Structure 1
């Protein structure tokens, strides 16, 4: 039966509202609201979150939104966000009724941009915060990110009206002790509090808050608050017995304050610390008192040793997530203690801990059978045997990140591929011993892989860096020859010093160069269905490898092939045919790609949203214009300024970004 309404005549409002609540993406919800007036009204009733930026007079915007959305529970105000529509577009709109709310909002937008004091009018003020409190009576969560105009007066007024508030984020706000004390006094249901970069706070404010609403507080974040000392943490330890999450970044905090938290907050589950003055004594207390700990992240610790990790491994049996970053005095013994004592570990990240090596990772492979994600960053002492043990013992591994690990090569990746067949994400960057052999093994064994990143995995890059360093240091060359040769090396991998009539004794190079080429991607295309692929800087990959991906990975949505000198239009055409879901494309520094390949791709990939294509000499203003006209969903284009015509700029100036300005 054509033209018969099968929904509005049958479904009640409550059921349509429930359907709207299950529609997550904002564009989809906006589309629903355009069906009819009833759906528009119901969709507004279903909204529980609004986000406000710094443009278009936030105070006026709060008043306008409050009349449209009455069931808002979460207000997010971030002065780093700008208005989504250009001001020129707003000014062109014709409004029939000058007294309407839309007209008033439009005039407010223009005034905020063109007024003498643009900063004052584009920041949420105390008046706007009072409007938030008065308009959204069901408010439970408020985020004020870098709202520089909000003061203690506004925060007190807000706290007095929103006594049922559960979450408050004051990151970067210049509020003081009086405002925070008012929150502690009035908001007795507060559970989450973020005080990152609140430079105006002192111990007075945080102590009053802890004594006021510490009974319900479950999450606390403090960073870069130079006037918050051990006194505040002692108050937190005394009053916040239900605290489950603590994030602390301070150069002022010492053992005394943190010991009070460890002893008083025994329910802690999440602990993130970057405190240079905390030592073994404080962290050992965590292992003794915080037996429910599930996540531990330690950053830039230089005053604690393996004794701390021994205590963690002995007491925190529920630990699932461990991050160790720039902790120079930790060794294999400390990591071994955690591996043996915490068998439920699922996520481990080791970043820049130079004394942790192969033996520590072997313990992880032997005792942490539930490990699902492993990240090794700048770990020069980890060798092939370590990942071999991971491949044998961690059968449930789903994500592996490797950055600048010079000792890890093809044998390591083969061990992971054969043992961890559930691998879904593999990110490798600047691991010059990884080549085709290892990635081919991944393609043959890891059929569930959807995210692959192989960035600058090419040992010829080591030769170039070695040659460049030798040229600069050599005493056999005059300064002019050094400069010319150095520039030539930096600009092109395929150098030939004979063409420059320079006869040099080159530095030694690896006996067997390793690289990732087309063979690796052919195996991946035949064995995996990728959604994300990044092979930037892998110079031996050409059309054949990308064509294999295009034919074997129809679900591909993100592709980065920047700095691939041998990639041309044939690959672009195959991508257009085989990857219709492509949304993000990076082809910068690809010399062989021209307008022909780009035009064919954008004609087929209708979902494309972003494209980076700087330093592509084969792409001209015509190609940029074709992308703008063909891709209706495009949101960002990064290109040289001189390739954008005046007509293209008028049509899509808001989505075009320029790498550099005119010289």
Structure 2
């Protein structure tokens, strides 16, 4: 490159290594960093030294891959290994690249991936321990063949570890005991689906990391009981976050122990059907710093708990209530009146909460920024009137199966909440939204109106005229929408990157051509079950949408193998095409088999 890149020589002669490494750290795009590494040997060496995060797959010779990476990237502090992802994935040079054009080491790795598929073993964790001694964050997702021995290697060598995620790993008590013994700086621990653990390991870790542990997540660990979780509450005085999913937790021995022993608790996520009012009353009384509370699938507590939360947790900002059958408007009113800083509220399937409860939220929670109402059959328009009047900072609203909510409510939100950026509505059958959203949604970027029977072209024309910043649009199942509405979107929303028009029976090629002409930034499009779309419309779409990455077009009878080939050959950035197997020619399959997914297969 020296013959035509004198600028590179000038940079190398003037900038020290430290400054170049700092520049590389500020390059966010992986492709750009890879390009920097190809400039010259010095840049390649420095770019490798500047990388602090590596993500690799955990299947297909991962042990040898970890060994290889450890010799090249010496300053890694964050390592992610996910067994759901192929080990060859991070170094894939492109779907059209031939194996013989890959570097020698990668060709060998890909060959091993084909003929010797296996999972991450203790040898791979030993390589992690030896090669990444500066490691601070280690994530092992579903690496079920790693054992206590491998985790012990990591604990002994990576003593600076601060965050450990063992989701789905079948490690046992000895490995967790080693973490508690050697990793005295551990702050975050995730033990979701760790079936091999018992109380012994977690108690030892709680004692070993009692001065550092700030966040603990436990879910689906049948052998972890009240004993170890009570020990966490007793020893881990700096604990700030607890996420607990268990059917066997006793409220007196766990939640009360945590409330008594962890005065710094800020985030509490509970999915424990056995927890009662006594435990949550203790949380309200003792956890005065609580900011986030999620209560999921609770069947034994009542408004008494929320009254205690509203009285004691004045800093509460986020509240999620899901399938809490015994809660009513009284409890929600207590939270609204007592927690003025509330900014996020989600109510899912709490059938006794009605319009009045949400009205109190609108009156008292003026800082509310996100509201989600899912399966709230008793919440009517009046509730959203109050939200529209009082919650001027609302930025996101989610409505799912709220059968009583209609156009008047949506109009109140649109007029009152001028900063609204995200609006998601699904199966609200009386919503028409003819003009309210478009007339008042100049900051709207994400709009999803799914399976709302009365929404038609008139609503989309208004949105196209009034929402120039729209990037994400989903109108699947709104069968009254046709070419006129989508054409208005194409002409008025040039920033659009995501479009879902599936199950629109009246949508044809003309609208698709308009999208291609007016939305050049489009990356994802879903056309499934659009009976009027043909190869002609697809050709016009992909001609201008050069950034298209995914295209779903199953059950489109007008799309043939020629249309699929057009999408594949024209869109150089395409990563996923979902189509019936019968519509993919042998040539297309050879050319781009890695990006094609089939919904229907031959029987």
Q: Residue in 2 aligned with 1:74?
A: 78
Alignment of 1:17 onto 2:14: no
Indicate the SS of the match to 2:404.
coil
Equivalences for residues 185-224 of structure 1 within 5 A: 185-224=181-220
The aligned residue for residue 384 of structure 1 is 381
SS at match of 1:45: helix
Instruction: Give the Cα separation in 2 of the matches to 1:603 and 1:445.
Output: 33
- Distance across 1 between alignment mates of 2:489 and 2:97: 43
Deviation of the 1:338 alpha carbon: 0.3
Query: Is residue 567 from structure 1 mapped to residue 568 from structure 2 by the alignment?
Result: no
Select the residue among 100, 115, 120 that pairs with 1:93. 100
Q: Is the contact made by 2:510 and 2:537 (CA closer than 8 Å) also made in structure 1?
A: yes
Match of 1:489 in 2: none
Q: Deviations over 1:166-198 (max 9, x none)?
A: 111111111111111111011111000001101
Q: CA deviation at 1:615?
A: 0.8
Residues of 1 paired with 2:459 and 2:59: CA distance?
Answer: 48
Instruction: Answer yes or no: is the 8 Å Cα contact 1:55–1:109 preserved in 2.
Output: no
Confirm or deny: 8 A CA contact 2:365 2:390 kept in the other structure: yes
| 1:129 and 2:88 are equivalent in the alignment | no
Is structure 2 residue 452 aligned with structure 1 residue 452?
Answer: no
- Residue 403 of structure 1 and its aligned partner are, at CA, apart by 0.2
Q: Choose the corresponding residue for 1:593, options 529, 533, 536.
A: 533
- Equivalent positions of 1:611-626 (< 5 A) are 611-626=551-566
CA distance in 2, matches of 1:565, 1:89: 35
> Structure 1: where are the runs of 5+ without partners?
96-101, 459-514
Whether 1:373 and 2:370 are equivalent positions in the alignment is yes
SS at structure 1 position matched to 2:80: strand
- Rounded to whole Å, the distance in 2 between the matches of 1:109 and 1:569 is 42
**Distance (whole Å) between structure 2 residues aligned to residue 383 and residue 423 of structure 1:** 20
Q: How many angstroms does 1:14 deviate by?
A: 2.4
**Shift of residue 94, structure 1, vs aligned partner:** 6.5
Q: CA deviation at 1:450?
A: 0.7
1:30-429 aligned at under 5 Å gives the runs 30-82=34-86, 83-84=88-89, 85=92, 92-93=99-100, 103=104, 106-115=107-116, 118=117, 122-255=118-251, 256-429=253-426
Q: Is the 8 A contact 1:286 1:312 kept in 2?
A: yes
From the superposition, tell whether residues 87 and 422 of structure 1 become closer, same or farther in structure 2 (CA, over 3 Å). closer
Partner of 1:470: none
CA distance in 1 between partners of 2:290 and 2:108 (Å): 53
1:522-561 equivalences under 5 Å are: 522-529=461-468, 530-561=470-501
Equivalent-residue separation in structure 2 for 1:89 and 1:618 (angstroms): 28
The Cα of 1:522 is off from its aligned counterpart by 0.7
**Which is worse superposed, 287-296 or 33-42?**
33-42
Give 1:45 shift.
1.4
**Contact 1:61/1:105 (8 A) holds in 2:** no
User: Partners of 2:338 and 2:101 in 1: how far apart?
Assistant: 69
TM-score, normalised relative to structure 2 = 0.96
Residue 32 (structure 1) shift? 2.4
Counterpart in the other structure of 1:500:
none
Query: Within 2, Cα distance between the matches of 1:173 and 1:556?
Result: 40
Identify the match of residue 433 of structure 1 among 430, 435, 450. 430
- Computing the radius of gyration from Cα coordinates, the structure with the larger value is 1
Give the distance between the partners of 1:525 and 1:89, measured in 2 at CA: 38
Would the aligned equivalents of 1:211 and 1:239 in 2 still touch at CA under 8 Å? yes
Q: Which residue of the other structure, out of 455, 471, 488, is the alignment partner of 1:516?
A: 455
How far apart are 1:163 and its partner, in Å?
Answer: 1.1
* SS class of match (1:349): strand
Instruction: Tell me the C-alpha RMSD between the 2 structures.
Output: 1.7
Residues 141 and 167 in structure 1, CA contact (< 8 A), matched pair in contact too: yes
Residue 112 to residue 522, structure 1, CA distance change in 2 (3 Å):
closer
Deviates more, 1:525-534 or 1:22-31: 22-31
Whole-angstrom distance in 1 between the partners of 2:76 and 2:479: 52
Give the TM-score taking structure 1 as reference length: 0.87
CA contact (8 A) 2:410 2:433 kept: no
Q: Secondary structure at the match of 2:269?
A: strand
Question: Among residues 580, 589, 598, which one is paired with 2:520 in the alignment?
Answer: 580
For structure 2, which runs of at least 5 residues remain unmatched after alignment?
Answer: none
Deviation at 1:110, TM superposition (A): 2.7
**Structure 1 residue 313: deviation in Å?**
0.4
